[in-house]
Structure 1
Amino acid sequence: MGFWTNWEKKFNDLLIEYNNLLKQHEKLERELTELKAKKAESRAFFCQTKRTRERRTRKEIS
């Protein structure tokens, strides 16, 4: 497919750039979601660890 005018080529180039930016944005959103999930898992793990330490301390005191 050829371009008939300079305007059409510029428009197509902008469209390609927009699509590339959109793909990059979607990739970054997925990575952010994964990082948020890892953060939540980490918080849950440390919270559970803290509770376990508190229980052990209570048992030792008793």
Structure 2
Amino acid sequence: MHQIETLEKFNWDLFLTANSEEQAHIFKKDFDIPDDVKFIIDNRELFPYTGIFTPMLGVYSSL
């Protein structure tokens, strides 16, 4: 949460990764994620090459 709060000060778009819409909802509820932080849904079922799928991890920002 500290990293998100720090990055929010720079007026950049912030993105967190989640494995599903449900997980994003749980993160928002359990961790009080600010509304301006968006989620990238890293859904394994949508990726056509399941043998090489690796989960995305981290906090992403854009300029």
TM range (shorter): under 0.3
Higher relative contact order (CA 8 A, sep 6+): 2
More strand by share: 2
Larger Rg: 1
